[in-house]
């Protein structure tokens, strides 16, 4: 169940408002807007579940395609589902595998009933469609499952996008008919590329089927930022106000704030973890290239105001040393910091909607470098 407690209208046309809500699951309530760290293969890279809990992560994301390949349904079933397998007792959302239809385009073939993949691990051929994706997500036992869809590439012709939307809607109907794990919610995914009429058609088609929430997909696939924002604006007004809205794969903090201003509630991205492994730390004011030479004798925390384990105990100089020496501890500590930084950012964002200062928060966010 999703309830909205506060809204703050920002944009002059009146179609959008920043929303403050609560998404209730059997494993806990999720305060929205929310950012979900990505745990593609039953782990958020380099950190433990207790690190995520300490950072105050409310929900994480897993990936159906990857977990279908390994460890596979049989092992996951024997383990008692994804939560028990990875020892995470808070909510989990599972992506359906639809993004891999885009990201693994060179090793897949799209059919009317699903997708033939060549495994990125060993080249073995296998098939995944809406039934197979939902069956795996049922075994995983995620709190939120996603419909299997085709993530449209950028650029794409209008004909390609039209055919893809028709396919995504057919697959969504099949997904909605499948058995789910107990208390498992199901979200539909709006596609349509850069074409406003197709986004509207897809959104309305999904609403006619009826889902527990709705995602805006096919963004952050190489398009300019203005097209990303347009994709939100072409989709969100056609989605129910009383259901959560999830913008898939977007982690840039400025873009998160702009999406919240347009009525989006949920986000995920690999940015906090990937940037940590590459030596970048997120702070309230922008990112810091910790591996840079100027931090070799920087004996202050990564961020003075941050309460995370990394900043409480270690210095920029030490983190830089670990990263340059290829010590895994460096990536681990910086990932703890980056995830904490994102969680704190979202807490401040939620507070700004609660107290009516979101517009000021939005202006401040635009100054982040």
Question: CB-based contacts of 345: which residues, under 8 Å, 6+ apart?
Answer: 35, 253, 284
CATH superfamily ID and name for 2-269: Queuine tRNA-ribosyltransferase-like (3.20.20.105)
Tell me the DSSP string of 62-118.
EEHHHHHHTT-HHHHHHHTSHHHHHT--S-EEEE-SHHHHHHTGGGEEEETTEEEEE
* Helices (H), ranges, the chain: 49-54, 64-69, 73-79, 82-86, 98-103, 130-140, 158-177, 196-209, 225-235, 253-261, 271-277, 309-313, 316-324, 328-354, 358-365
Per-residue pLDDT of the chain (369 residues; tens, 9 = 90+): 899 888 887 665 667 899 999 999 999 999 999 999 999 999 999 999 999 999 999 999 999 999 999 999 999 999 999 999 999 999 999 999 999 999 999 999 999 999 999 999 999 999 999 999 999 999 999 999 999 999 999 999 999 999 999 999 999 999 999 999 999 999 999 999 999 999 999 999 999 999 999 999 999 999 999 999 999 999 999 999 999 999 999 999 999 999 999 999 999 999 999 999 999 999 999 999 999 999 999 999 999 999 999 999 999 999 999 999 999 999 999 999 999 999 999 999 999 999 999 999 999 999 998
Q: Which residues are catalytic?
A: 95, 268
Q: Where are the domains of the chain?
A: 2-269, 271-369
pTM flag (> 0.75):
yes
């Amino acid at each position: 169940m999703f309830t909205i407690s506060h809204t703050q209208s920002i944009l002059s046309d009146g179609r959008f408002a920043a929303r403050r809500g609560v998404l209730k699951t059997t494993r806990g309530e999720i305060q929205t807007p929310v950012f979900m760290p990505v745990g593609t293969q039953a782990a958020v890279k380099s950190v433990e579940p207790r690190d995520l809990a300490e950072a105050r992560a409310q929900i994480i994301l897993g990936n159906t395609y990857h977990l279908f390949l390994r460890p596979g349904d049989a092992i996951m079933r024997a383990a008692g589902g994804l939560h028990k397998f990875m020892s995470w007792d808070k909510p989990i959302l599972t992506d359906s595998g639809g993004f891999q239809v885009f990201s693994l385009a060179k090793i897949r073939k799209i059919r009317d009933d699903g997708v033939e993949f060549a495994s990125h691990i060993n080249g073995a051929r296998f098939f995944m469609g809406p039934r197979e994706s939902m069956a795996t997500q049922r075994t995983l036992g995620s709190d939120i499952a996603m419909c299997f869809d085709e993530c449209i590439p950028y650029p794409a012709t209008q004909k390609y996008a039209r055919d893809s939307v028709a396919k995504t809607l057919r697959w969504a109907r099949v997904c909605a008919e499948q058995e789910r794990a107990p208390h498992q919610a199901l979200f539909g995914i709006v596609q349509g590329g850069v074409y406003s009429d197709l986004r509207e058609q897809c959104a309305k088609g999904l609403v006619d089927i009826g889902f527990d929430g709705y995602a805006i997909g096919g963004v952050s696939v190489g398009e300019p930022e203005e097209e990303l924002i347009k994709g939100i604006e072409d989709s969100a007004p056609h989605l129910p106000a009383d259901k959560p809205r999830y913008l898939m794969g977007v982690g840039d903090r400025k873009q998160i704030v702009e999406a919240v201003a347009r009525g989006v509630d949920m986000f995920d991205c690999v940015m906090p973890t990937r940037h940590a492994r590459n030596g970048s730390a997120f702070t309230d004011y922008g990112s810091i290239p910790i591996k840079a030479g100027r931090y070799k004798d920087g004996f202050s925390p990564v961020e003075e105001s941050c309460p995370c384990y990394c900043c409480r105990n270690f210095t920029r100089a030490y983190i830089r040393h670990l990263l340059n020496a290829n010590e895994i501890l460096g990536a681990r500590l910086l990932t703890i910091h980056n995830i904490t930084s994102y969680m704190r950012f979202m807490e401040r964002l939620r507070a700004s909607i609660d107290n009516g200062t979101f517009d000021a928060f939005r202006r401040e966010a635009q100054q982040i470098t």
